[in-house]
Amino acid sequence: MKVFVLGNINAGKSTLIDVIQKNLSGYKILKIDAYRKIHCDGSIEKEEKMWTDFPAEVMKYDDVIVEFSGFGHIADHLINLLPDHSCIVLYVKSSVDECIRRISEAKFTSIPYAKFVGAETLEQTINRIGIDLDHGELHKKWGKKALHIIECNSGEMDLPLLQYHYIFRLRDILIPYSECLFLFGSAGRQEMTSLSDVDMFCLTKTPVQNIAEKLSKIFTSIDIMGNEIIVRDNGILMELYCIEDIEEARVFYRESAITDIVKSVIIDNIGIIPKLTLFSSEEVDYEKEISHTISRLKYYVESLKTLAKKKDQYKYFFHNNIVVHECVRIKAFSKGHFRRNYLPLHAKDYFTNEEWDILFYHFGDDMDEHYYQLKIFVKKVLYDFDHIR
């Protein structure tokens, strides 16, 4: 994976690299000023030669962290060399005033900058780059080449770089086997954190066992569950769903609420964008979903009465957890949260601690008493929902 750490002069790009390289061991580090010290002598000829030599050096490495402003001739040459969606950009944000305040004569006099006629002062350059950044020029320039542009600060720790490292690694491995490879869930929404799993669909005619065998030679742990390959490596969990029909991805992709569909696609040999756009935009019959949820809730609540009489604690516990889940979904519907309702976000906030105590059955509790209290509570949940509707 190529990681570009971009931003204004003195924004803290080198500081961020010191942070992230601990998680990306084995990555080559290329910093523009360090490169300039070795290959330039202050002459215009050497400076202009570097505009093409530095990008060529970057392209030699599959795994590399590159630091420069993201603008100018070097950026232009790099952008011409990079395929679309082939890198991650970390945009280090810092105010112009702060960047100017950090100017150190000792630091910059040691770097052999070429002296062009009418050249800007360092402060003028920082101000100019700051204006470009404020107007979104970095996103315009790099948006097509980067799979994701992540805005961060120099001390940022919660970056999903290992996740992206493995996304690119899986892409490279699966190119011969995949008609298309696309992300969903938080990866598809570009909302991953350092704790996120990676969810991917692979449209393929290759048997799951064959793909898993290939992956097992590279990754620490591989498990197969039906058409799903579970990949674990370096603390990162990846779930790869191998499908033969794109329709198998419809519900998962739709429920992921992905807005930038193009950036969710990693490999595309069959023109999959229109289909994913259709999945993402289709309307769901939420009244039908609500009706089904209420029916399930009522059914599983009533099942608890018989299970209590049978003293079947485990099945009672199991059915009770289904009741809890359906109560959470009803609560989500009442708040207008219909997307991603298969597992609502921030569900813990839907009920008070006292209400959670009523909802959950614990082994050893009196099942008859729990059922009596739970039934009253569920009636109230449904009553409140009817009145909100």
CATH level 2 (architecture), domain 161-281:
2-Layer Sandwich (3.30)
Q: Are 247 and 167 in contact (CB under 8 A)?
A: no
Query: So where are the chain's domains?
Result: 2-152, 161-281, 286-388
Stated pTM of the model: 0.87
Digit-by-digit pLDDT tens for the chain (389 residues) are: 999 999 999 999 999 999 999 889 899 999 999 999 999 998 999 999 999 999 999 999 999 999 999 999 999 999 999 999 999 999 999 999 999 998 875 566 778 887 775 678 889 999 999 999 999 999 999 999 999 999 999 888 899 999 999 999 999 999 999 999 999 999 999 999 999 999 999 999 999 999 999 999 999 899 999 999 999 999 999 999 999 999 999 989 998 989 999 999 999 999 999 999 999 998 878 888 899 999 999 999 999 999 999 999 999 999 999 999 999 999 999 988 877 677 787 889 999 999 999 999 999 999 999 999 999 999 999 999 998 87
- Helix, coil or strand: residue 259: coil
Topology annotation, domain 2-152: Rossmann fold (3.40.50)
DSSP 16-62: HHHHHTTTSTT-EEEEHHHHHHHH--S-HHHHHHHHHHHHHHHTT-S
Is the CATH number 1.10.150 carried by domain 286-388? no
